[in-house]
Amino acid sequence: MTTLTLTEPRARFLDLIASEWLKLWSLRSTAWSLLLGALAVVAFNVGTAWDHHRYWFQYDAEGRAGFVRNEMALADAFTGNASMVLILCAAAMGAVSVVGEYSSGLVRTTFAAVPARGSLVAAKLLVVAGVQSGFGAVVAGVSFWSTQALLAERGAGLPITHPGALRIVVASALLAPVCALAGAALGALLRHSAVSVVGSVVLLLLLPSVLGDRRHLTAVLAHATPLHAWQRLVGVGPAAVEPYPWTAGGAWLVYALWALGAGAVAVVAVRHRDQ
């Protein structure tokens, strides 16, 4: 008697992406987190522009002229406070997307269904990066449009075609997926939600804030962080004299290396550790 052996077809990578997409959006917290994060980021930017709009005529003529001359409207397009909120939201979502399966025990079922852990994690990271790229694009675009519309009423708003404006929007938008991937890497390493989120804050916010640019070593370390790379890309106004200056190309490279490095760390951590 002939025995037929049936084998399950290997999951295609597109199927893994579709599965991770469904898992991410099946959580109600995903939509709420993105919505509340977007509102907070845009509110910080619009609030700064509104202050300049509201108190415009309380500045003297030279102050108003300097604001326009130095293109300070671009500084309102995406502020430092907004970038910190964006980093926190993106990193937290990246960490929770990985840690959530470990804390719920779903990871055992997932690995049983898809033994190819590397492909599975890669699909998850692509979904997280894609969602965060859309999130970053929306908040950066809305922030730019709303702040410049406000300032345009005072004759200070700038169009997206103005030199440097598009770079601010793109750099702010891409900050979200870069930090989300960093959070996912920490989640894969630490496997605890609270610890991973705190680690993300330390790595992406606290550490860059204590690294100065007066010494070569600390300047190099500071330049290697996403926050300082973002600050380099969105800087407007008269350029400050830095003892160790660096280029916009170097800042874009930092973005790329953090994204690739975080993805590699997450894949390796999941593949070579017990579930």
d(CA 87, CA 102): 23
Span 85-129, pLDDT tens digits:
999 999 999 999 888 877 766 777 777 777 788 888 999 999 999
pLDDT at 6: 43
pLDDT at 48: 96
pLDDT at 74: 95
pLDDT at 8: 45
The low-confidence residues of the chain, meaning pLDDT below 70, are 1-11, 104-105, 237-241, 273-275
Helix runs in the chain, H state only: 13-25, 28-54, 61-69, 73-77, 80-104, 106-113, 117-152, 165-190, 193-201, 207-210, 216-223, 226-234, 248-271
pLDDT at 101: 77
φ, ψ dihedrals at 11, nearest 5°: -65, 130
